[in-house]
Amino acid sequence: MRLMVPILLLSACQSAGLTSSDMHVRDADTIVLNGKHGTPVRFEGVDAPELDTQAAIEGKQWMIGFVTGKAVRCELTGEMNGDRHIGTCYGDGENLSEKVIAAGHALDCRRYSGGRYARFETPAAKSRLKRARYC
């Protein structure tokens, strides 16, 4: 069953909210709400490996397992990165950015997070994952 995703059109200073239980996981820091061809959302302030690496494949699989069966809500910033909206997403109320970083599949991207996820980084992830230059 496909659920319709409500999109709130707000001023540029406000954020929109999206909710869905029908989603597709692109990778550890991007999900698509309302099915594979719905609304892509990139997690603000998260640096996950690109899909051409084993670490990225593992991160994607972890995210699939974590969000399966959960209602996901994203709070959008109003910014875009390519085709993706930027936002913070929650699975049954749990911050997906915090969870994927704490699980060792991504790092904090201080440039965009202000460092709010740094405390969730694991020593293993910091030694194993390469931080993107833009972070």
* Tens digit of each residue's pLDDT (9 = 90 or more) over 36-84: 888 999 999 999 998 889 999 999 999 999 998 888 999 999 999 999 9
Nearest partner of 20 among 36, 2, 8, judged by Cα: 2
- Pure H helices in 2-85: 54-67
Per-residue pLDDT reduced to its tens digit, 3-30: 333 333 222 323 456 555 578 999 999 9
CA angle 126, 127, 128 (to 5 degrees): 95
State the pTM of this model.
0.83
Beta bridge partners of 23: 33
What is the Cα gyration radius of the chain? 14
- Give the whole-angstrom CA distance, residue 17 versus residue 131: 29
CA atoms within 13 A on the CB side of 41: 31
Pairing assessment for the beta strands 39-43 and 84-91 based on DSSP bridges = parallel
